[in-house]
Chain A
């Protein structure tokens, strides 16, 4: 089955520690996204990537980093600079067929990050 997988489902971070969230898709989509979800705030865009080896900051990129070395993978690192990392993190991907950039985004199951 085609889809988006995120791992782990739950992640615990200690103070001063960097942690990496995994996102893999087998939909052959060009674009991938990371969102942060907090209660009552909807989804906020952290980073997005339109193509391999290229990515752009979203609305709340501070304290986060990404890489896009392969089309199917878009890992997110939550660095120690992110002072309030507790949230639900969602990865998404979209086709990008060249006719429109606002293609439908498909989401993974999410990773919940908690601070110890």
Chain B
């Protein structure tokens, strides 16, 4: 069965500093991977996705993620965070032959001035 682990429940980062959020997945074949962001009381917005091809994926809002098959990871990065990046971030995985996605428990990011 597929699953996703986000090891960090909460991360605090200073504005302007770099950010890296970890995501580890469990799935037998090549997965489809997603990162979503959720502001308080809102729905989820897609940041980026990996289906195939280049393992470094660029997304919106200056985010990028790197797919590492050998480590079963899909970590999200941003070189310089802004106060507006404070939110909850979810990693998700899905196989190509199934409509179902599995979501991690999420990582809450706090940005301090």
Residues of A bordering B, CB below 8 Å: 4, 6, 31, 33, 40-45, 48, 50, 58, 90, 92, 94, 96, 100-102, 104-110, 112
Measured between beta carbons, the chain A residues less than 8 angstroms from B44 are: 43, 90, 92, 107
CB pair B90 A42 closer than 8 Å: yes
CB pair B41 A112 closer than 8 Å: yes
CB pair A101 B9 closer than 8 Å: no
- Complex partner residue of A42 from B34, B42, B45, B103, CB under 8 angstroms: B103
Interface range, B side: 20 to 34
Residues of B bordering A, CB below 8 Å: 4, 9, 32, 34, 36, 41-46, 49, 51, 90, 94-101, 103-106
CB pair A42 B104 closer than 8 Å: yes
Q: List 14 A-B contacts (CB under 8 A).
A: A31-B99, A33-B99, A40-B105, A40-B106, A42-B104, A45-B100, A45-B101, A58-B100, A102-B95, A102-B99, A102-B101, A107-B43, A108-B43, A110-B41
